[in-house]
């Protein structure tokens, strides 16, 4: 049974979420305040955290930041209001896996929860090798450390996710549509050239000072990282 920690100060919403999630077979723990929510998130060994952004005591973005700082990669879905665009952007930058805007349909929320749990299970299978590598680039999936020729490289969350996705498909040409879906999500509404922007960021950080090209553009299709 998967465990979900719900952090929501509106008691009616929290009650409905608990009823619906338990009906779907989840073990649900509910907190109504930011600090107790953070403690539950870190102590309950949750499989997923569903939390509001606006919370008393400690807001949802700060809870998320502390969860990720602690090295916990549990999937987090943010509950946001329609006018909280910056909270959505900040939340994703801080490591949120997804967000859903209030008011929402419970069927959509359940689908997003299933998607996050499925993606997390795929990315963090215990028996798989935690190291992704190509040439002299290595990514440790446990520590999230990225190095080239032994030298550490600092990446933002989205740069890291883009690199790990390309490395997971090493020696394959990855279409732009697949990158957009798997790195930015199916509901991304920004410009598709965001991929080109982040590829350029990665190239600058990974290829600076090296004559060896790491990421190859396949014109009209997408990108690839090849071993040779």
179: CATH: 1.10.10.10
Dihedral, CA of residue 49, residue 54, residue 56 and residue 58, to nearest 10: 60
For residues 117 and 32, membership in a common domain is answered with yes
H/E segment holding residue 164: helix 157-168
Residue where a domain stops, chosen among 93, 123, 153 = 123
For residues 50 and 113, membership in a common domain is answered with yes
Average pLDDT estimate for 55-78: 87
For residues 111 and 155, membership in a common domain is answered with no
For residues 119 and 140, membership in a common domain is answered with no
For residues 119 and 135, membership in a common domain is answered with no
Amino acid 13: pLDDT: 93
Rounded to an integer, what distance in angstroms lies between the CA atom of residue 56 and that of residue 59? Answer: 7
For residues 13 and 105, membership in a common domain is answered with yes
Amino acid 81: pLDDT: 78
Confidence (pTM): 0.56
For residues 221 and 181, membership in a common domain is answered with yes
pLDDT at 20 exceeding the cut of 90: yes
Residue where a domain stops, chosen among 92, 123, 154 = 123
For residues 148 and 202, membership in a common domain is answered with yes
Domain count, the chain: 2
For residues 135 and 69, membership in a common domain is answered with no
pLDDT at 45 exceeding the cut of 90: no
Average pLDDT estimate for 94-108: 88
Per residue in 65-74, pLDDT (tens digit) is 888 877 788 8
Asked which of 23-32, 118-127, 205-214 is least confident by mean pLDDT, the reply is: 118-127
Residue 100's domain comprises: 3-123
- Work out the pLDDT band at 126, boundaries 50, 70, 90: very low
For residues 14 and 117, membership in a common domain is answered with yes
Closest among 37, 51, 181, 43 to 119, alpha carbons compared: 181
Q: Please tell me which of 8-17, 62-71, 145-154 the model is most confident about, judged by mean pLDDT.
A: 8-17
Residue where a domain stops, chosen among 97, 123, 149 = 123
């Amino acid at each position: 049974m998967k465990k979900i920690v719900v952090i929501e100060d509106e008691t009616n919403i929290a009650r409905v979420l608990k009823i619906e999630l338990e009906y779907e077979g989840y073990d649900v723990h509910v907190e109504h305040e930011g600090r107790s929510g953070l403690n539950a998130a870190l102590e309950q060994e949750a499989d997923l955290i569903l939390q509001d952004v606006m919370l008393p005591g400690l807001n949802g973005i700060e809870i998320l930041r502390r969860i990720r700082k602690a090295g916990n990669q549990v999937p987090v879905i943010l509950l946001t209001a329609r006018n909280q665009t910056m909270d959505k952007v900040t939340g994703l930058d801080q490591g949120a896996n997804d967000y859903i805007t209030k008011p929402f349909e419970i069927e959509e929320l359940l689908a997003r929860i299933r998607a996050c749990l499925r993606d997390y299970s795929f990315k963090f299978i215990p028996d798989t090798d935690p190291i992704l590598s190509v040439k002299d680039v290595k990514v440790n999936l446990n520590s999230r450390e990225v190095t080239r020729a032994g030298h550490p490289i600092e990446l933002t969350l989205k740069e890291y996710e883009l690199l790990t996705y390309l490395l997971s498909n090493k020696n394959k040409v990855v279409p732009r549509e697949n990158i957009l879906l798997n790195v930015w999500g199916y509901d991304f509404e920004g410009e598709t050239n965001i991929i080109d922007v982040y590829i350029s960021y990665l190239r600058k950080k990974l290829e600076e000072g090296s004559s060896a090209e790491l990421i190859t553009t396949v014109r009209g299709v997408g990108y690839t990282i090849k071993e040779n």
